[in-house]
Amino acid sequence: MTTIKINERTKTGKAFMAMFEAFFKGVDGIEIIETGSPKKIKKKEESIYSPEFVAKIKKAEENIKNGETTTLDPNDIWGSLGLK
């Protein structure tokens, strides 16, 4: 027995199913077991990162989008940070 997965939502998948039904309908030994699109099951995956770390990263991404960044001068890092 051989199993073939076909995504019937794609153009190629629809064409294949139409061809299959035209050529093999009623032929012994060949049948379509299941038709229709499978239901997507979303699993909530557990993150390997701590929630605090994720929150810091998301806040940093937000700051970057808003243009809130600091540019460092490699010749005067402490001065760039206002710590001189």
Residue 42's pLDDT is 63
Over the stretch 13-61, which tens digit does the pLDDT of each residue have? 899 888 888 888 788 887 777 766 556 666 667 788 899 999 999 999 9
Alpha helices in the chain (DSSP H): 11-24, 51-65, 77-80
**What DSSP assignment string belongs to 50-74?**
-HHHHHHHHHHHHHHHTT---PPPT
Residue 38's pLDDT is 59
CA distance linking residue 47 with residue 82, whole number of Å: 36
Residue 40's pLDDT is 63
What residues contact residue 30 under an 8 Å CB cut-off, 6+ apart?
A: 24
* Averaged pLDDT for residues 59-75: 88
pLDDT tier at 5, thresholds 50, 70, 90: confident
